[in-house]
């Protein structure tokens, strides 16, 4: 069984799919380079990411299956799950056979795993759209640190570019050492390995103090429900919530 190795990015995965479905490359497993473990019984080939081929493959999936299928594949890839590449390959292969109807086959063993991964990413994206907290740094840049379970910076950035179009901002995935940077015109995702606390603007420190005090004072002691709160606002995100700093 042949294994195709890609760089772990969605463009890399799309390039590998292009090699299989367009160029006729043999491959039944697709694995990100960081997850590949060689063995004596399978052939392997490394696929170099090619932006043009990735774009062509994305367009083919969009037209021959559906935009929804492309989104499911992207979300599933964002989980960074070890066997996500192979799952997506089987899902796309089934999609080329069934067309847009593929997503109605909810119990199909080639469809259900990708839907499950996509749902997990969609759930975290929805949460972080509400739980991302920006701080005003010295120099006027808004900064939001977070540590999501999945690689979703490129999903968060479009939302905040519309919500905060007149601000310079950084959304920092501390765990992965990368960030989405926005300069009032466009956003990019790039490496950012800086650790430690960044200098806050004086007005930010004052505002944080007021917000923390408000958060405490507005609570009704008799109606506190920690279990419900943790369900709506999971504790794994509290580390970077201003109102929760020092409370977990």
Taking a C-beta distance cutoff of 8 angstroms, is the pair 52, 18 a contact? no
Question: Which pLDDT tens digits describe the chain residue by residue (248 residues)?
Answer: 688 999 999 999 999 999 999 999 888 899 998 887 777 667 889 999 999 999 999 999 999 999 999 999 999 999 999 999 999 999 999 999 999 999 999 999 999 999 999 999 999 999 999 999 999 999 999 999 999 999 999 999 999 999 999 999 999 999 999 999 999 999 999 999 887 778 889 888 888 787 777 677 677 777 777 677 667 778 888 888 887 765 54
Give the span between the Cα atoms of 238 and 86, in whole angstroms. Answer: 34
Q: What pLDDT shows up at residue 222?
A: 72
CA 113 vs. chain centroid, Å, equals: 17
Give the span between the Cα atoms of 158 and 153, in whole angstroms. Answer: 9
Q: What pLDDT shows up at residue 241?
A: 83
Give the span between the Cα atoms of 218 and 98, in whole angstroms. Answer: 54
How far, in Å, are 176, 204, 216, 228 from residue 225 at the CA level?
33, 29, 14, 5
Q: What pLDDT shows up at residue 207?
A: 82
How far, in Å, are 35, 72, 243 from residue 202 at the CA level?
45, 43, 18
103: its two tokens: 């997503």
Q: What pLDDT shows up at residue 40?
A: 61
Q: What pLDDT shows up at residue 1?
A: 64
Domain boundaries, given as residue ranges, for the chain:
3-122, 132-244
Q: What pLDDT shows up at residue 198?
A: 84
For the whole prediction, is pTM greater than 0.85?
yes
Q: What pLDDT shows up at residue 248?
A: 45
């Amino acid at each position: 069984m042949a294994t195709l190795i890609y760089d772990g990015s969605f463009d890399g995965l799309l390039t590998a799919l292009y090699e299989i479905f367009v160029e006729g490359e043999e491959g039944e497993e697709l694995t990100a380079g960081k997850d590949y473990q060689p063995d004596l019984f399978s052939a392997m080939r490394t696929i170099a990411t090619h932006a043009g081929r990735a774009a062509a493959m994305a367009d083919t999936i969009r037209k021959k299956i559906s935009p929804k299928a492309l989104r499911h594949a992207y979300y599933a890839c964002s989980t960074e799950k070890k066997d996500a590449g192979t799952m997506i390959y089987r899902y796309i292969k089934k999609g080329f056979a069934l067309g847009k109807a593929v997503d109605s086959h909810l119990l199909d063993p080639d469809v259900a795993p990708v839907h499950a991964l996509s749902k997990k990413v969609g759930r975290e994206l929805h949460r972080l759209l509400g739980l991302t907290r920006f701080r005003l740094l010295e120099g006027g840049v808004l900064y939001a640190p977070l540590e999501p379970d999945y690689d979703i910076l490129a999903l968060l950035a479009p939302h905040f570019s519309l919500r905060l179009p007149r601000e310079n901002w950084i959304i920092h995935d501390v765990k992965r050492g990368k960030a989405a940077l926005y300069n009032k015109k466009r956003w990019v995702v790039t490496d950012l390995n800086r650790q430690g606390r960044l200098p806050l603007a004086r007005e930010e420190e004052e505002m944080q103090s007021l917000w923390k005090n408000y958060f405490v004072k507005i609570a009704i002691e008799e109606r506190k429900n920690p279990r419900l709160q943790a369900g709506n606002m999971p504790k794994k995100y509290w580390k970077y919530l201003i109102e929760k700093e020092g409370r977990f």
